[in-house]
Structure 1
Amino acid sequence: MATTTVRTPAERWPELARIPHPPRRLPVLGDVIGSSLTTPVQDSLRIARELGPIFRRKIFGLEVVFVTGADLVTELADEKRFVKYVTNAVQSLRAVAGDGLFTAYGNEPNWQRAHDILAPAFTREAMVRYHPTMLAMAHRLMHVWDGHAQAGTPADVTGDTTKLTLETIAHTGFGYDFRSFERDEPHPFVTAMVDGLSAVIKLRVATLPLLGPVLARPIRRRFLAHRDYLNATVDDVIRERTAQGDTRTDDLLGLMLNTAQPATGERLDPLNIRYQVITFLVAGHETTSGALSFALYYLAKHPEVMARAQEEVDRVWGPDGDPGYEQVSKLRYVRRVLDEALRLWPTAPAFTRAARQDTVLGGKYPMRKGASALVLVPALHRDPSAWGEDVERFDPDRFLPERVRARPGHAFKPFGTGERACIGRQFALHEATLVLGLLLRRYNLHDHADYRLTVSERLTLMPEGFTLIPSRRKPTTPPAAPGTPEESTPAPAPTGCPVHHAP
Structure 2
Amino acid sequence: MAETTATGLPKGFRGAEQGWPELHRIPHPPRRLPFLGDVLGASRRTPLQDTLRYAGDLGPVFRRKAFGKEFVFAWGAREVADLADESRFAKHVGLGVANLRPVAGDGLFTAYNEEPNWQLAHAVLAPGFSREAMAGYHPMMLAVAGRLTDHWDRAVAAGRAVDVPGDMTKLTLETIARTGFGHDFGSFERSRPHPFVTAMVGTLTYAQRRNTVPAPLAPYLLRAATRRNAADIACLNDTVDALVRARRTTGGGEGDGDRVGDLLDRMLATAHPVTGERLSALNVRRQVITFLVAGHETTSGALSFALHYLSRHPEIAARARAEIDAVWGDAEVPGYDQVAKLRYLRRVLDEALRLWPTAPAYAREATVDTVLAGEHPMRRGAWALVLTAMLHRDTSVWGADVERFDPDRFEPGAVRGRPGHVFKPFGTGARACIGRQFALHEATLVLGLLLRRYELVPDPGYRLRVTERLTLMPEGLLLRLGWRGVGSRAAAR
For the criterion TM > 0.5, the same-fold answer is yes
**Aligned: 1:31 with 2:38:** yes
Q: Is the 8 A contact 2:88 2:366 kept in 1?
A: yes
Q: Once the two structures are aligned, what percentage of the paired residues are identical?
A: 64
Q: Is the 8 A contact 2:148 2:171 kept in 1?
A: yes
| Secondary structure class of the residue paired with 1:292 | helix
| Secondary structure class of the residue paired with 1:10 | coil
* CA distance in structure 1 between the partners assigned to 2:391 and 2:207 by the alignment: 27
Query: 215, 218, 226: which is aligned to 2:224?
Result: 218
Query: 283, 288, 300: which is aligned to 2:299?
Result: 288
- Report which stretch shifted further, 441-450 or 78-87: 441-450
Shift of 1:203: 4.5
Q: Is the 8 A contact 1:203 1:220 kept in 2?
A: no
Query: 69, 92, 97: which is aligned to 1:90?
Result: 97
Q: Deviations 1:40-99 (Å, cap 9, x if unpaired)?
A: 110111111111211111111111111010111000001001011111322110111111
Tell me what 1:163 maps to.
170
**Aligned: 1:229 with 2:235:** yes
**Aligned: 1:390 with 2:396:** no
| Secondary structure class of the residue paired with 1:11 | coil
* CA distance in structure 2 between the partners assigned to 1:220 and 1:205 by the alignment: 14
Change (3 A) 1:398 1:157: same
Q: For residues 53-452 of structure 1, what are the structure 2 equivalents within 5 Å?
A: 53-203=60-210, 205=212, 208-209=215-216, 212-247=218-253, 248-452=259-463
Instruction: Give the counterpart letter for 1:164 in structure 2.
Output: L
Q: Deviations 1:397-443 (Å, cap 9, x if unpaired)?
A: 00000000000110000000000000000000000000000000001
Q: Deviations 1:13-61 (Å, cap 9, x if unpaired)?
A: 1111111110001110000011111111101111111112111111111
Q: Is the 8 A contact 1:194 1:459 kept in 2?
A: no
* CA distance in structure 2 between the partners assigned to 1:303 and 1:206 by the alignment: 43
Instruction: Give the counterpart letter for 1:9 in structure 2.
Output: A
Q: Deviations 1:110-161 (Å, cap 9, x if unpaired)?
A: 0000000001100000000000000001010000111111222100000001
Shift of 1:5: 3.6
Instruction: Give the counterpart letter for 1:262 in structure 2.
Output: P
Change (3 A) 1:142 1:262: same
Q: Is the 8 A contact 2:52 2:390 kept in 1?
A: yes
Instruction: Give the counterpart letter for 2:220 in structure 1.
Output: V
* CA distance in structure 1 between the partners assigned to 2:212 and 2:427 by the alignment: 26
* CA distance in structure 2 between the partners assigned to 1:129 and 1:62 by the alignment: 47
| Secondary structure class of the residue paired with 2:405 | coil
Q: Is the 8 A contact 1:207 1:216 kept in 2?
A: no
| Secondary structure class of the residue paired with 2:334 | coil
**Aligned: 1:460 with 2:471:** yes
* CA distance in structure 2 between the partners assigned to 1:111 and 1:293 by the alignment: 31
* CA distance in structure 1 between the partners assigned to 2:214 and 2:311 by the alignment: 43
Change (3 A) 1:342 1:301: same
Change (3 A) 1:263 1:320: same
* CA distance in structure 1 between the partners assigned to 2:17 and 2:440 by the alignment: 38
Instruction: Give the counterpart letter for 1:231 in structure 2.
Output: N
Change (3 A) 1:76 1:268: same
Query: 7, 16, 24: which is aligned to 1:9?
Result: 16
Instruction: Give the counterpart letter for 2:263 in structure 1.
Output: L
Q: Deviations 1:240-288 (Å, cap 9, x if unpaired)?
A: 1001123431111000001111121000000010000000000000000
Instruction: Give the counterpart letter for 1:376 in structure 2.
Output: L
* CA distance in structure 1 between the partners assigned to 2:316 and 2:362 by the alignment: 31
Unaligned runs of 5+ in 1: 477-503
Change (3 A) 1:212 1:355: closer
CA RMSD, Structure 1 to Structure 2 (Å) = 1.4
| TM-score of the pair, normalised by structure 1 | 0.92
